[in-house]
A and B are shown apart, each in its own frame.
Chain A
């Protein structure tokens, strides 16, 4: 599974629901898989950068972290039970949502939407490379 940083940036900014739910949001968060660490930066609700090479020296407000197996479950076109969302995958499958939980909860409508967007990005990439 490969998350294309450029495609993710475009997809997030092009998604009407994400833009509405991310309104006024200035943050920096990580998406972590077995092989990738992406740093997503937002200013006032717009994604200004998705850095595919996040390092331990970068600061972040929260992260969405899981194994490739967990991500594959989450991003499946029709997720199996208890993979339909980050939160439930955290409770049942060991996925990690880490950071300031109050801020995570405040913007959970936007965070929740990123799963749908990531699923689209990953499966579009797979279809193109097949």
Chain B
């Protein structure tokens, strides 16, 4: 029988971040321990559609995928003249966004899962807001992603189109990932507002740096996993391993035959990595918070 509808629902939430009200699009599916899913730079929550539509995963977890402001269906705010300024994403904004998202949705210590920029944020959240979560999964996470900053002007240039972003993303996928899904990965990138990818990368490539701080992440009352794709050239397994080595209690997994976008380029294979981690994270027996 052909499919008729997916058990995924979307809703707009009004959220105030750094004093500005945003209309934020959030998709959800499933029930169980909540899992907040953070998309990559310049992209949106569609990246998580395969997880959200998977009955095995949705049967165990409440999956939540938001489009950050300026991404996907989350339009720019109506009371800011955003067209007069360069869009730049900051760590401070991301952390406030996620704390308020969890509060607004009434989530009790969810599992946080983020990829790439979202992977970097896993470690930043674990450092700055650990009490809000039960576990963090940083996919393609690293201590930092410095060294390629000079590419940034080429990612928001009047003579370079959005197809270039898509093409670059194709190069980060594993050659064995299904072609149709690799192309879908690129398609979503080609649809981002022109300046947003570069603005997100200001956080990913420039601001994020836990070289001197990662060792202070305390995992005694939370779980922490780092997953790296074998073919990911922007955050290679060696970078994930360096981050894992700094965090006592962190678990590190190399995903063979995978690139930078496991949840979109090869979701079936990704399930084999992420489901056991989510199950282990959900089963963690956490000590009550001191101020609870």
Tell me the A residues contacting B by CB distance below 8 Å: 21, 78-79, 81-82, 84-85, 87-88, 91-92, 101-102, 105-106, 108-109, 112
The prevalent SS among residues of A at the interface is helix
B154 — which chain A residues lie within 8 A by C-beta? 101-102, 105
Q: Which of B166, B174, B175, B236 contacts A109 (CB 8 A)?
A: B166
The CA of A81 and the CA of B231, in the complex, are separated in Å by 5
- A21-B167, A105-B157 known, 9 other contacts, Cβ within 8 Å: A84-B171, A84-B174, A85-B170, A87-B168, A87-B233, A88-B171, A101-B154, A106-B160, A109-B166
B171 adjacent to A105 (CB under 8 Å): no
In the complex, whether B176 has a CB less than 8 A from a CB of chain A is yes
Smallest distance from the beta carbon of A10 to chain B beta carbons, Å?
23
Tell me the B residues contacting A by CB distance below 8 Å: 154, 157, 159-161, 163-164, 166-168, 170-176, 230-231, 233, 236
B175 adjacent to A108 (CB under 8 Å): no
B233 adjacent to A91 (CB under 8 Å): yes
A109 adjacent to B164 (CB under 8 Å): yes
Q: Which of A81, A91, A108 contacts B164 (CB 8 A)?
A: A108
A79 — which chain B residues lie within 8 A by C-beta? 175
A106 — which chain B residues lie within 8 A by C-beta? 159-161, 164
Q: Which of A21, A101, A102, A112 contacts B171 (CB 8 A)?
A: A112
Nearest-neighbor residue (CB-CB) of A106 within chain B: B160
The CA of A106 and the CA of B171, in the complex, are separated in Å by 15
B175 adjacent to A88 (CB under 8 Å): no
Smallest distance from the beta carbon of B216 to chain A beta carbons, Å?
31
Candidate in A79, A81, A82, A87 with the most chain B CB atoms within 10 angstroms = A81
B160 adjacent to A78 (CB under 8 Å): no
Which 9 residue pairs of A and B lie closest in terms of their CB atoms, listed nearest first?
A: A85-B171, A109-B167, A88-B233, A105-B154, A106-B160, A109-B163, A112-B167, A108-B167, A81-B231
A81 — which chain B residues lie within 8 A by C-beta? 230-231, 233
